[in-house]
Structure 1
Amino acid sequence: MPDAQSLPGCCLCGAVRFTAQPKHDAMDVCHCISCRRWSGGAWMTVECEPDMAIEEDGALGIYGSSGHAERGFCKTCGTSLFWRMRDGSLLTVAAQAFDDPARFRFASEIFIDHKPPNYSFANPTQKKTSAEIYAEFPDIAG
């Protein structure tokens, strides 16, 4: 059972259930090509404490998507679940995989310069370019 700060969630088929502790009440969106291809759209994510708990990890797949990061997904239904730095310094969990995703306010969009022109969000958000993200996180610059 999750504690008061941890929130439950799962993949589409329920084979991977988790609890994670969000660092704040904000949902962020990544428009980089890797996240768009992996998630089938913009990656809607919530930054969480790195100690995410997976109830049954037999259906959990891990894909090393770069030298610095890996992505977690359900091997049964294919749901994209999380992105994390290999060194454990940063974990982001799919906002829509939480049981109550409406609790997160839409706060920011990153890699805004990678967003294709065929969609836009109406919400006012903070927007950061790839250069701004690489300056903030030099370990992911590639």
Structure 2
Amino acid sequence: MSRTMTGGCQCGRIRYAAEVGSDDAYLCHCRMCQRATGGVSIAFVNLPKAAVVWESEPDCYASSPIARRPFCSACGTPLGFEYPDSDKCDLTVGSFDDPSRFRPTSHFGAEAIHEAWIDTRALPRYRTDQHDALTDRWMKALGKLPD
């Protein structure tokens, strides 16, 4: 079922609307994505470029001779990945306003997977709103916790 979903960067300068027809997403573990995001992997949704409308154009970084990455130069949010000569692109799952629709269906760049980070179900979990020092900082700065 296709539906329009919105998203953007952390500071709100870059926004997009995307016509999304599938819940499928994937995790990329390649070293290029690890370096570009600073994470051990990144979650992407693959879409036709024609399905994405940018309300304000993102900045783009030519991360290699064959690919570029849209991002926000004001706040640094990674927004996607694309080959300029392809009709498809990837958007970062985390940049969608409501990423809960998506589910991981595959791993890419498996040669660089950090296995210790794949299954973390047994690790203890802590909520940000239960961290007193963090909550105090937000309350002093904004008078409320962020969304």
Pick the TM interval, shorter chain: 0.7 to 0.9
Q: Which has the larger radius of gyration?
A: 2
Unaligned runs of 5+ in 2: 122-147
Q: Distance in 2 between matches of 1:96 and 1:113?
A: 23
Tell me the distance in 1 between the aligned counterparts of 2:61 and 2:21: 24
AA aligned opposite 1:53? V
Cα distance, 1:70–1:9 mapped onto 2, change above 3 Å: same
Contact 1:81 1:94 (8 Å CA) reproduced: yes
**Offset, 1:121:** 3.4
Deviations 1:6-46 (Å, cap 9, x if unpaired)? 21001011110001223421110000011011122111100
Distance in structure 2 (CA, Å) of the matches to 1:68 and 1:23: 27
Contact 1:23-1:49 within 8 A present in 2 as well: no
Secondary structure of the corresponding residue to residue 36 of structure 2: helix
Say whether the 8 Å CA contact 1:61–1:74 is kept in structure 2. Answer: yes
Map of 1:69 onto structure 2: 67
Q: Which amino acid aligns with 2:83?
A: M
| Conserved? CA contact 1:24–1:47, under 8 Å | no
| Structure 1 match to 2:37 | 39
For the aligned residues, what is the CA RMSD?
Answer: 1.8
The DSSP-based 3-state class of the residue aligned with 1:64 is strand
Give the Å deviation of 1:104. 0.5
2:137 matched to which residue of 1?
none
Any conservation in 2 of the 1:62–1:70 contact (CA below 8 Å)?
Answer: yes
Equivalences, count: 118
Give the letter aligned to residue 55 of structure 2.
Answer: E
- 2:101 alignment counterpart: 103
Structure 1 length normalisation: TM-score? 0.76
User: Hey, what does 1:89 align to over in structure 2?
Assistant: 87
Identity of aligned residues (%): 31
DSSP-derived class of the 1:80 partner? coil
Q: Following TM superposition, where does structure 1 have runs of at least 4 consecutive aligned residues deviating by more than 3 angstroms?
A: none
Kindly provide the amino acid, as one letter, of the partner of residue 68 in structure 2. Answer: E
Unaligned stretches of 5+ residues in structure 1: 124-142
Please give the alpha-carbon distance, in whole angstroms, between the structure 1 residues aligned to 2:67 and 2:98.
Answer: 26
More helix by share: 2
2:126 aligned residue: none
